[in-house]
């Protein structure tokens, strides 16, 4: 029997507070809620637009699909006393990114999926998109690994509109007028080609691409636009920016070198004629 991870009374209070706030500042439109299984472990894989979308994703899942949202939350967030208490009481999973504890967090997520029958939300991109047009970026392979290890379905979810509520990098939300927030959930991603295969880098990469392709297609449907042929790669973009910065510094460093002030000839005199 699945374990109840959440405190029911905390769940009741938090859900009503969040619902009240979001109904005040957003106009939600939800499609595809029937694609989220009514019970049993399920991975909800969503794109990431804004620091506000954990609230809107949770709203979509809890009210629209009737499933309690479970997130993996950054350890820094979990250090805030009130947030920590609420997060623990609502079954959220802390994670220290870039550390050995990240593996432990994935183990906790696996337990939530397979033993507790939870619906666990992941952002495969790992951070808010930096694509100039806000399309989903390339993703990390943690979601694919977890899906192939546990065998639970991955439901792709795309959303659009939170960037108008609070754009990434901004600290000032635009609360009024109410913002249109659109959601679309698709059927579980077809990962059958990768099941029962060794979890090689190639298998995980291809499975991750399949997950992100479904999310991107759903967002394209919401936006009525054509996504880019290749997703934005944040790692490569940062590498290009670093190389460009080094290239800009190179001429300045060259100008400051002593040899540019004149060189000495064989007779010991300066070649400038001095």
**pLDDT tens profile 164-183:** 999 999 999 999 999 999 99
Q: How confident is the model at residue 179, as a pLDDT?
A: 97
User: CATH number of the domain at 8-231, please?
Assistant: 3.40.1130.10
pTM of the full predicted structure?
0.86
More confident residue, 245 or 84: 245
Whether the pLDDT of residue 41 is over 90: the answer is yes
pLDDT band at 22 (very low <50, low <70, confident <90, very high): very high
Q: Look at the chain and count its residues.
A: 274
In this model, does residue 14 exceed pLDDT 90? no
162-166, 226-230, 263-267: least confidently modelled range: 263-267
- Mean pLDDT throughout 227-252? 91
Q: Are strands 154-160 and 179-185 parallel, antiparallel or unpaired?
A: antiparallel
pLDDT attached to residue 95: 74
Q: With H, G, I as helix, E, B as strand and everything else as coil, classify residue 136.
A: coil
**In Å, how far from its chain's centre is CA 26?**
21
Domain layout of the chain by residue ranges:
8-231
- The per-residue pLDDT of the chain, averaged, comes to 87
DSSP 129: -
């Amino acid at each position: 029997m699945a374990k109840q991870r959440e405190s029911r009374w905390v769940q009741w209070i938090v859900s009503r507070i969040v619902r009240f706030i979001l109904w005040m500042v957003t106009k939600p439109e939800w499609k595809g809620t029937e694609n989220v299984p009514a019970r049993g472990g399920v991975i909800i894989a969503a794109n990431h637009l804004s620091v506000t979308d954990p609230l809107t994703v949770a709203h979509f899942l809890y009210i629209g699909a009737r499933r309690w949202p479970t997130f993996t939350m950054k350890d820094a967030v979990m250090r805030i006393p009130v947030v920590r208490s609420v997060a623990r009481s609502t079954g959220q999973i802390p994670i220290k990114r870039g550390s050995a504890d990240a593996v432990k967090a994935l183990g906790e997520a696996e337990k939530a999926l397979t033993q507790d029958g939870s619906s666990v939300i992941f952002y495969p991109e790992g951070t808010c998109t930096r694509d100039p047009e806000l399309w989903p970026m390339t993703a990390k392979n943690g979601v694919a690994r977890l899906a192939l290890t546990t065998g639970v379905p991955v439901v792709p979810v795309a959303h659009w509109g939170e960037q108008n509520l609070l754009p990434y990098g901004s600290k000032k939300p635009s609360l009024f007028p109410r913002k249109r927030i659109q959601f679309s959930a698709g059927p579980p991603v077809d990962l059958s080609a990768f099941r029962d295969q060794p979890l090689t880098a190639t298998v995980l990469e291809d499975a991750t691409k399949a997950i992100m392709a479904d999310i991107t297609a759903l967002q394209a449907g919401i936006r009525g636009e054509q996504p880019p042929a290749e997703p934005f790669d944040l790692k490569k973009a940062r590498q290009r920016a670093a190389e460009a910065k080094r290239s800009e510094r190179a001429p300045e460093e060259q100008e400051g070198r002593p040899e540019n002030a004149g060189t000495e000839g064989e007779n010991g005199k300066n070649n400038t004629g001095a």
